[in-house]
Structure 1
Amino acid sequence: MEDQTQIFGIRAIIEAINANKTIDKVFLQKGLSGDLFTELETLVNKKSINKSYVPVEKLNRLSKGNHQGAVAQISPIAFHDMETLVSQVMESGKTPLFLLLDQLSDVRNFGAIIRTAECTGVDGIIVQKKGGAPVNGDTIKTSAGAVFKVPICKVDHIKDAVFFMQASGIKVVSATEKTNDTLYDVSFTEPSAIVMGSEGRGINPSILKVSDARAKLPLLGEIESLNVSVACGAFLYEVLRQRRA
């Protein structure tokens, strides 16, 4: 499967942004300057689009040299508005279940989580605009197409999503080893949102601090942690078990 659709050239990217295309990330050439380049930088910052300054060699690899100092990746999906999605789910009469991914970085983990989320009835996945894994060809392949079935929302900060969930009557549970409670000690029968952390550092301490509950998986071996997609699957199926019971 091909990766995300790419746009090459400063003017073309400016036009795409102004046309409200879903831009996942913009790669900008290090050290480049000029009025048009500055216009693009300003627009990218204004729209809070994820960007990265890279050597010209990387841009050459992405575009076979035809880039003028900028390459943009267009997401293959349209992202949902979180507040609208939460309101719709709350009004539907079902018990909501959301996933908050705190800067998960590996696209294959992201895809695997989306696939499990679709299988367990997750109502929506919330990710941060900057610092997280993109929705690209690897994500789509690993999710087995589930990325087109589960609503995905982007927010400026995961903590904003936590506060909105709580204000909407949804309990926020962080999956972390920094607790004595296991996931079997936590009730998921009420409206719930589960926070999963990044592969390296886990969940941001500021998010742990404001969560309603923390829960961990019991680990009986010598290895201290599970792959995040595997851990997420265990949490989601415990939610399913409790709600079916």
Structure 2
Amino acid sequence: MTDSPEYRKKRAFFDSLLTIYGRKPVLEALEDKNLPVHKLHLAESNRKDQLISRIEAIASERQIEVAYCDRKSLSRISKNSKQDQGVALDLALPKYGSAEAFLRDETDGTFQLLALDGITNPQNLGMIIRSACAGGIDGIILPRKGCAQIDPLVIKASVGTLFKTRILRCDRLAPILGEFATKGTQVNALSSHAKDTLRDIDDKRSHIFVLGNETQGVSEAVNQACTHRLRIPMQNGVESLNVAVTAALICFRNQL
């Protein structure tokens, strides 16, 4: 049974929602009129300080729906009760969606994606997003569990490029990589022990470059889903690079 066009459209909209939290990140997002906002959530118990007053004023100016709720309800929305500061914002980002939908709908030739496996450092995640955006990578596959989640630290490290970058969410990385592989995508695990290097890949094919955990590399399950292994040539006995640096080299490999 196939989903109706109406259902797929509705599902795509909800997949495009990104909820951010914290007074300063929310205020900065509201001040950027290029960011499409779906709904603002405020805790009823918020003290009306300068930031809250400014947030409410901009929401009124932009005619954004505001939902007032108790702290418990807000924590379910933000998924971070310790740091949401009584504020959450739903952004409807056209480049934010699911890896499954991308795989189903992608018909326009080749693509280049990054896939992140166990990247837990928010600073690294933000820097990877920034490099992907600047280098023209077509998207980043980000699992909903096991990686750093999008929070104020990631937004800050990305220097705002998060909102311009295609983020493709998935529940588990290994199965979706297997689905890409069955459709002809070359799925490359980055490994210092690989025989082939970035110079050896065929740019006429679609590629996914899988970046592993900062200390342990690509996990066994994800490694088994990969079709190829690649390394970055290094000199002077250096064995590995920071994962964000590795991502930057991949993103700009054809740009310089």
* TM-score range normalised by the length of the shorter chain: 0.5 to 0.7
Structure 1: distance between partners of 2:249 and 2:71:
44
Paired residues in the alignment total 192
User: Distance between the aligned counterparts of 1:212 and 1:133, measured in 2?
Assistant: 25
Q: 1:206 to 1:87 in 2, by over 3 A?
A: same
The 1:154/1:139 distance shift into structure 2, 3 A limit, reads same
1:10 partnered with 2:66: no
Match of 1:113 among 111, 121, 128: 128
Percent sequence identity over aligned pairs: 24
Decide whether aligned partners of structure 1 residues 181 and 96 sit closer, same or farther in structure 2, where only a CA change above 3 A counts.
Answer: same
Aligned-partner residue type, residue 197 of structure 1: G
User: Alpha-carbon deviation of 1:210?
Assistant: 2.7
Structure 1 residues 183-198: aligned runs within 5 Å: 183-198=198-213
What is residue 56 of structure 2 aligned with on the other side? Answer: none
Q: Please show how residues 223-234 of structure 1 align to structure 2 within 5 Å.
A: 223-234=238-249
The one of 81, 96, 101 equivalent to 1:84 is 101
1:120-178 Cα offsets, whole Å, 9 max, x none, are 22222111111211212222222222111112122121102211211332110111113
Is contact 2:100-2:170 (8 Å) kept? no
- 5 Å-filtered alignment, 1:41-190, equals 59=82, 62=83, 79-88=96-105, 90-91=106-107, 93-190=108-205
CA contact (8 A) 1:77 1:148 kept: no
Q: Which moved more, 1:105-114 or 1:182-191?
A: 182-191
Q: CA RMSD in A?
A: 2.9
Q: Separation in 1 of the partners of 2:122 and 2:181?
A: 28
**2:114–2:210 Cα contact (<8 Å) kept:** yes
For 1:122 and 1:75, the matched residues in 2 are separated by 25
The verdict on how the C-alpha distance between 1:120 and 1:152 changes in structure 2, with shifts beyond 3 A counting, is same
Cα displacement (A) at 1:77? 6.9
> What's the TM-score once normalised by structure 1's chain length?
0.67
- Matching residue within 207, 216, 223 for 1:208: 223
Tell me, yes or no, if the aligned pair for 1:76 and 1:136 is still in contact at 8 Å. Answer: no
Listed as ranges, the gaps of 5+ residues in structure 2 are 1-22, 27-40, 44-69
Distance 1:171 1:6 in 2: 45
Cα 1:186/1:96, change in 2 over 3 Å = same
Question: Do the aligned partners of 2:111 and 2:138 also contact (CA within 8 Å) in 1?
Answer: yes
Q: 1:209 to 1:139 in 2, by over 3 A?
A: same
Output one character per residue of 1:53-112: Cα deviation in whole Å (capped at 9) or x when no partner: xxxxxx5xx478xxxxxx998776764122222333x32x24211111002011111111
Q: Structure 1 residues 72 and 86, CA, compared in 2 at 3 Å: closer, same or farther?
A: farther
Partner of 1:50: none
Distance of 2:174 and 2:87 partners within structure 1? 27
5+ unaligned residues in a row in structure 1: which ranges?
A: 17-22, 28-58, 65-70
Residue 224 of structure 1: how far off its partner (Å): 2.0
Question: TM-score normalised to the size of structure 2?
Answer: 0.64
